[in-house]
Amino acid sequence: MSDWGVRRITRRRFLTSAILTGGLVGSAVPTAAPTVTASAAAASQPGPKAGGILVRATAFEADTLDPARTTSGESALIMNNLMDGLVKFARDSVKVEPSVAMSWEVSAGGKIHTFHLREGVKFHDGTPCDAAAVKFNFDRILDSKNPFHRDDMDFAQHDLLGVVQAVEAANPATLKITLKDSYGPFLNVLATPYCGFGSPKAIKADPDGFGSHPVGNGAFKFASWTRKASLEIVRNENYWDRTAHLDKIISKYVPESSVRLSEVETGSSHLFDTVGVRDIDRVKSNPQLRLLMVPFPAWAYVYFNLRLPPMENKKVRQAICYGVDTEAIVKNLYNGIGKWPDAGPLAPGLTGYQPGLNPYKYDPVKAKALLGEAGVGASLKLSMAAYNYERPYIPAGGGKVAQAIQADLKKLDIDVDLQVLDSAPFAALRKDAARRPHLLMGGFFDDYPDQDEFIFYNGESTQTFNRSSWKNDEFDKLVREARRISDEAKRARLYQQAAKVWLEDPPQLIINYGVDASVMRKTVQNAFLTPLLMWRFDRVWLSE
């Protein structure tokens, strides 16, 4: 879970998978198909062709390539090509499928997961990726007394794998993981790049430096890394699955958006993601480029601080939800890089997503009536803080969106004292509950593709991300029950019930869901985005 920039300055966005083979083939979001522009539609090239070097321009730099010690999205993108885990996400959906594990069983109570590992999988140093090696990777994360554990593994140890009680290598091909309690999203957690495996031999040889020269088991091998310049990976000729087509991939650090786009336009680079609002039309007009715009489960929102009167009054919160024209924000400020939140706190493409749940269409008359019922009087004064930078789920920038909200609320005789802050002071304000204003800009996206992390972590009363200080006993009961079961149909019903409770007693004004815009040259074939919105390059090839 993340407010992009608190724990993870460069953490990437969750996305229901989209495949791109000359044009868009499919999306896992059935109600909001991705928009592929005219310049994006191209016939598939004959192929594939082996060889070639793909250059990717990126605004971010990895911090480490040790999966246990990072929360960086750029690191995860690279690790996704270097290191395989027990399971992975399918190419065209959020379905979990085999990887190092060929198959698995889950006990009747949901606590014991038994994995049957693929024979012959090796790390890039030639050592076996067997059950003992997998157990080593888990143990160094979970056991604080393990000699290879480090303090900066807290995200993997507590957030991702905190539900794990024990890991046992029954034999070289069988691994058993016992959970403290049944946990429906567990396989989704294991499919993330943060649960990929490194060579125990390499980790033991240099536990603190491993992340700078990693040894994994994936389709590509680490080659070189020049900080603030580039990172290179090369094809693994001994990969357990089909070998990759590309010889090499270079991730080039290019912090300026305009320079990244120029790189792709001139052919110096082949692709980059997170195209800005101002550049969409420029990309669409270039016949050499391909633009992919895909909805992904993330949202931009404003926290209501229930500690400050009158925000404890749900009629005031309902009034603000009706009184802000979020549809106009998406239409006028985002240039198509956003989606109105038709299911409220239920993320698109995930279990329970149900369009039509959100009642908060713009209705200033209803908003004024609710304010009257709340008895707050005329000229209500509220404080608000927003960040001044862009995020994939708020591509116009927090400041511009906050100003639009301020203008809409002014029409309701609500005066908003708005602060627009740089990242450091905004992060400090957000962490300090005593200083939070009435309204606080936020944003959220998943670490793993499950509704649990969206609705549970934002709304359950004991969670850090519930910065509204909202407590609703009925909601808590529903989301706690949903995370303990694995029956997806039952979980969907529970999440839909929880969403209705949320929307009737809103802790947030949800502005929009995210849409990602990525651009590549048309010579790039079969490139696609994983469920964490990261490029997977094992099937990519270049037509020229």
Place of tokens 């992009």: 4
> Could you state, in order of their start, the residue ranges of all structural domains in the chain?
66-211, 295-516
Per CATH, the number for 295-516 is 3.10.105.10
Q: Tokens for 516, please give them.
A: 């990602």
> Is 308 buried (19+), middle (13-18) or exposed (0-12) by CB count in 10 A?
middle
Distance of CA 344 to the CA centre of its chain: 18
Count Cβ atoms below 10 Å from residue 505 Cβ, excluding itself: 16
Phi-psi label, residue 94: left if phi above 0, alpha if psi -120 to 50, beta otherwise = alpha
Q: Tokens for 143, please give them.
A: 């056991």
Cβ atoms of 84 and 133 within 8 Å: the answer is: no
Q: What is the pLDDT of residues 254-300, one digit of tens each?
A: 988 889 999 999 999 999 887 888 899 999 999 999 998 777 778 99
The listed CATH number (3.90.76.10, 3.20.80.10, 3.40.50.880, 3.40.50.300) that belongs to domain 66-211: 3.90.76.10
Alpha carbons 109 and 131: distance in angstroms, whole number: 23
Per-residue pLDDT, 39? 33
Measure Cα distances from 128 to 82, 84, 195, 197 in Å.
Answer: 16, 13, 17, 11
Per-residue pLDDT of the chain (544 residues; tens, 9 = 90+): 444 333 333 333 333 333 333 333 333 333 232 334 323 333 345 678 999 999 999 988 899 999 999 988 889 999 999 999 999 988 767 789 999 999 999 999 899 999 999 999 999 999 999 999 999 999 999 999 999 999 999 989 988 899 999 999 999 999 999 999 999 889 989 999 999 999 999 999 999 999 999 999 999 999 999 999 999 999 999 999 999 999 999 999 998 888 999 999 999 999 988 788 889 999 999 999 999 877 777 899 999 999 999 999 999 999 999 999 999 999 999 988 899 999 999 988 888 999 999 999 999 999 999 999 999 977 899 999 999 888 878 889 899 999 999 999 999 999 999 999 988 899 889 888 899 999 999 988 777 778 888 898 889 998 878 889 999 999 999 999 998 888 889 999 999 999 999 999 999 999 999 888 889 999 999 987 765 677 889 999 999 8
Handedness of CA 33, 512, 514, 477 (dihedral sign): negative
Report the 3 state secondary structure along 119-183.
CCCECCCCCECCHHHHHHHHHHHHCCCCCCCCHHHHHHHHHHCCCEEEEEEEECCEEEEEECCCC
Please give the single-letter amino acid code of residue 478.
L
Q: What is the pLDDT of residues 368-397, one digit of tens each?
A: 999 999 999 778 999 999 998 888 788 898
Q: Tokens for 414, please give them.
A: 């609500």
Alpha carbons 526 and 544: distance in angstroms, whole number: 14
Contacts with 176 (C-beta within 8 Å, 6 or more apart), sequence order: 112, 113, 114, 115, 167, 168, 170
Report the 3 state secondary structure along 474-497.
HHHHHHHHHHCCCCHHHHHHHHHH
Among 432, 515, 441, 501, residue whose Cα is nearest residue 470:
501
Among 297, 295, 301, 293, residue whose Cα is nearest residue 351:
297
Per-residue pLDDT, 534? 75
